[in-house]
Amino acid sequence: MDHLVTQLQELNIGTVKSNEPLARHTTMKIGGPADLLVEPSSIENLTKVMELIRKQNLPWTAIGRGSNLLVSDKGIEGIVIKLGPGLDTLTIAGTEITVGAGHSLVSLSTMISKKGLSGLEFASGIPGSVGGAVYMNAGAHGSDISRILTEAHILFEDGTMEWLSNEAMEFSYRTSVLQKKRPGVVLEAKFKFTEGDKSAIVAQMQKNKDYRKETQPWNSPCAGSIFRNPLPHFAGRLIEDAGLKGYSIGGAKISEMHGNFIVNAHNATAKDVLDLIEHVKVTIDQLYGVKIETEVEIIGRV
């Protein structure tokens, strides 16, 4: 791995860290080390990283701000690409915006609202990156990324880059074509907003933010919603009705505020969280005959 570090440093692609604890890079504060963590300083440098990965046939994983993510206690093999500063560019042209994948979704939604542009109110309080939001079609309050995205700029593992249309992204509930069919890294996203009343948009943003503060445990280390809603049911309601709020395994606990959140209450391990997830799945299936699946992305060594 040392020779790889040297190669990347010689390319001057950004920050390179070996054996970096990923607990430092996830909102749940859980995760073993990455063999190599790379934070590219530009799209051009990210393409250099991907070229090296391809030439040496290395395993790779892309992350953003670490929300909606549970990393194994054993860490992640190969190179972890973290998208952040350097990939957080922003261009505004009327109601159309092109934004880098590393840009904070919360700060983007706040800025857009103050310009009187409507369409991203639902994202108020979602603590992820634009790239992660596009990758998983993040949503809340009856809306999601697919409603506003026109195109996404993607870097594929073969080194090719392509702008994919909304249709080509094959969005559905909390998923996109990138999750299984065409693995790639989101570089940029183009969004189309509508002009509206600034005070009304800001008020709706604040209402959504207040709702999250009142009903979700964002003051505790967590990853956001753990389970997908098994529509027409809601995962949080099923878990609450099953009497599982507050149930814990090791340092992981189902939030007292919201049944679909697991918090790192006391030095939880990924195994604690996975065991708790399995307990919830079995309990809900036994009580209601409903099978629930995880929304949180579980990655790393088994």
Active-site residue, 182 included: no
Mutual orientation of helices 2-11 and 43-56 as an angle, nearest 10°? 150
Beta strands in the chain (DSSP E): 14-21, 33-40, 60-63, 69-71, 76-82, 90-93, 96-100, 117-118, 139-140, 143-144, 149-156, 161-165, 184-192, 194-195, 248-249, 252-254, 262-264, 297-299
Q: Pick the catalytic residue from 174, 188, 212, 255.
A: 174
Q: What values do phi and psi take at 138, rounded to 5?
A: -60, 145
Alpha-carbon radius of gyration of the chain: 19
What do you get for the CA distance between the two ends of the chain, in Å? 21
Q: Pick the catalytic residue from 20, 151, 188, 295.
A: 295
Q: How many C-alpha atoms does 83 have within 13 Å on its Cβ side?
A: 32
**E strand or H helix at 178:** none
Q: Pick the catalytic residue from 113, 146, 225, 255.
A: 225
Active-site residue, 225 included: yes
Per DSSP, the three-state class of 129 is strand
Residue pointed to by tokens 């972890």: 80
Active-site residue, 174 included: yes
Q: Residue 157 to residues 88, 165, 167, 222: CA-CA distances in angstroms?
A: 21, 19, 21, 30
Residue pointed to by tokens 């999601």: 144
Task: Tell me how far apart the alpha carbons of residues 23 and 205 are, in angstroms, rounded to a whole number.
Answer: 30
Nearest one of 39, 105, 31, 34 to 71, comparing CA atoms: 31
- Contact present, 62 and 185 (Cβ < 8 Å): yes
The catalytic residues are: 174, 225, 295
